[in-house]
Amino acid sequence: MSGQEVLVVQHAAWEGPGLVGRALEARGIPWRSVTLVDKVAPEVPDIASLAGLVAMGGAMGALDDAQHPGLAAERQLLAASTEAGVPVLGVCLGMQLLAVSLGGTLHSGAGREVGFGPVALTGAGIRDPYLYPLCVDATPDPSVVHWHSDAVDAPPGATVLASSVQTPVQAFRAGSAVGMQFHLELDHPMLRTWMDQPDMAADLQAGEAERLAEDAAARFPSLVPRALVCFSAFAEAVESWRG
């Protein structure tokens, strides 16, 4: 891969790549993290230097440019990387930024989803290398972690991979780019870090912290290994892209 690395764009210190980073490291793929969100004129890397691009979650809206001026540059980077065929992965806010950058519509405050809940994989989702490992016992409705209130329409030409009753577009693919509204990158240590953050804890309603902890104890032993297989598919795409 000749010096190229995966760029991980973070919007909060605690919302790092998690299992995405672990999957990349398992294949010996270098990655680094940057924060662009609040910079008026962020230094955006040349796409030719990227082996892949990952955009993580955050509390702001995908179009909150007035408060977070770096979002505009991030959307441009996401769109240009997708157009160039770079493997791109967007998670939660990262998915929303990706969708908007490709012509999708943002729906602010569309409906709150916090905690474990099922997503229904579409036929395309079941066949997609990033999502098929989530299927267990032939069911296309894996339970994953949600933490959002905004939603997006899939961008023109994209394929919807997963949905939920509350959020019709839970995952989509547009060429080399995949967006996931849910938080597949989490494991026990990362979730505990989230719960220790005052901003995250303040976002929870009565009883939700306890339910999250109980559901994580029951579901992570099965979900984390499958998530690593999902992100290994992204790592494989990175290897194939840059050779």
What's the angle, vertex CA 220, arms to CA 218 and CA 224, rounded to 5? Answer: 160
185 labelled catalytic: yes
Q: Do the beta carbons of residue 109 and residue 199 sit within 8 Å?
A: no
Check 11, 74, 183, 230 and give the catalytic one.
183
Residue 38 half-sphere exposure toward CB, CA atoms < 13 A: 7
92 labelled catalytic: yes
230 labelled catalytic: no
How are beta strands 31-35 and 177-180 bridged, if at all?
Answer: unpaired
Check 5, 11, 92, 148 and give the catalytic one.
92
Check 5, 74, 113, 185 and give the catalytic one.
185
> What gap in Å lies between CA 175 and CA 158, rounded to an integer?
8
In order, the DSSP letters of 74-88 are HHHHHHHHHHHT--E
Instruction: Give, as one character, the DSSP assignment of residue 139.
Output: B
Among 147, 231, 135, 227, smallest CA distance to 182 is for: 147
Beta strands in the chain (DSSP E): 5-10, 31-35, 50-55, 88-91, 106-107, 113-118, 120-121, 143-148, 151-152, 159-163, 171-174, 177-180
Beta bridge partners, 162, equal: 121, 171
- Please measure the distance between the N-terminal and C-terminal CA atoms of the chain and give it in whole angstroms: 6
Q: Hey, which residues are catalytic here? A: 92, 183, 185
